[in-house]
Amino acid sequence: MKSMGRRGFLAAATALGAGAGLSAYAAVSAADEDDTPAKTPDKAPDIALRDRDLPFMGTEETFSTPTLLKLNSINEDHIAFLEEIGLSDLGQRRIGDMDAGGLNVQILSAHTPSVQNVPGQKGIDLAYRLNRQLVDGPIAKYPGRFKAFATLPLRSPEAAADELERSVREDGFLGALTNGHIAKKYLDHPDFEPVLARAVALDVPIYLHPGYPADEIFKIYYSTTRSEYTEEFQDYIFSGSGYGWHQEVLTQCIRMITYGVFDRFPKLKVIIGHMGEGLPFYHQRIINDMGEPTENSLEKPFGQYFQDNFWVTTSAFPQTELLQLLLKFISVDRVMFATDYPFADIKAQTDWFRGVDLPREDKEKIAFRNAEKLFKMKVPVK
């Protein structure tokens, strides 16, 4: 891709990397202005005051390293932007932002697409080094404040399964996070059954984070013939957090159900972020239209898999109306808090959730208790 000026890049790069949450705040403000005055303004301050002591675990919190920045960035301006927002800071700046927002724990995951598309021994070694950097760095330096999802060398599935087991058993990792397609294949492909089987054996979840589309898909769906738009990175953002990422994750979820992944691995646990990646909006349409053609090939009704095998996080979507819609279709026992730091502001999202009008018990489940149960841990409370 062409280089671009720093000013232009920073203006356009809100979404580069994972920044959907920054634009979400504007949507929240607009929605709040349109709310019926009699509903929330009187309640919200009282509810936020009641829940000011609410502990939080952030379940989708991103980091990078100099190696990853070079591997996964477009150009030097992109690297500068990611460094400026604190993506590679795993020290006092990140801890300070967590403290300011009242976020007790971050579960760290590597910046998309991490090393999952690096083949062979190089990918295996990179994944191991990244995982060990977390253990020897922030996890050791700030006890109790950081947990992690493993980075896996998915181009080598057997090695990826082994690294998942090593990182869980030896280093206390909570599962793994993947980033979109792996060399044009998704996790429903038979190649990745060793990874899924190991996750089930270890009883840990796999977090499906978005990744950028394959070149062919990018050209068909997102490319433009107008160079002036390419120079503003419109096509890149369009294919990522501006739209494409969320459809990509939901597509992968539907593939995994449709092609029998959860029948082969009924105890497989999958997490998706961004308030369900569009699932609440499409839920009825998906289960109605996919139910009939899969009736004779799946062991359960199509919609049941969303209830049995999926957890959803709120990452980067601090919007009450979307949470309410999500809770119509997904049990409150399967929803977890996340911020998508550093692409979204921690305090803005914890402040939002403290003011959400839900019973205290339900808010505790979303804020930290569901994560405690899924990850078999306790959130340290100051």
Q: What is the DSSP string of 114-153?
A: TTTT--HHHHHHHHHHHHHHHIIIIIHHSTTTEEEPBP--
CA nearest 18: which of 244, 205, 190? 244
Please tell me the distance from the alpha carbon of residue 333 to that of residue 331, in angstroms, as a whole number: 5
Residue 125 annotated in active site: no
**Which pair of structure tokens corresponds to residue 246?**
């969320």
252 half-sphere exposure, CB direction, 13 A CA radius:
31
State which amino acid sits at residue 214: A
For residue 234, CA distances in Å to 196, 222, 231 come to: 35, 9, 8
Among candidate residues 340, 345, 351, 362, the one labeled active-site is: 340
271 burial type by CB count under 10 A (0-12 exposed, 13-18 middle, 19+ buried): buried
Radius of gyration over every alpha carbon of the chain, rounded to an integer in angstroms = 20
- Secondary structure string (H, E, C) spanning 53-90: CCCCEEEEEEECCHHHHHHHCCCHHHHHHHHHCCCCCC
Please report the sign of the dihedral spanned by the C-alpha atoms of residue 173, residue 125, residue 273, residue 62: positive
Query: Which strands make up the sheet holding 176-179, listed edge to edge?
Result: 176-179, 206-209, 270-272, 310-313, 335-336
Those residues with Cβ within 8 angstroms of residue 105's Cβ, 6 or more apart along the chain or in another chain: 56, 57, 58, 144, 145, 146, 147, 379, 380
Q: Which residues are catalytic?
A: 340
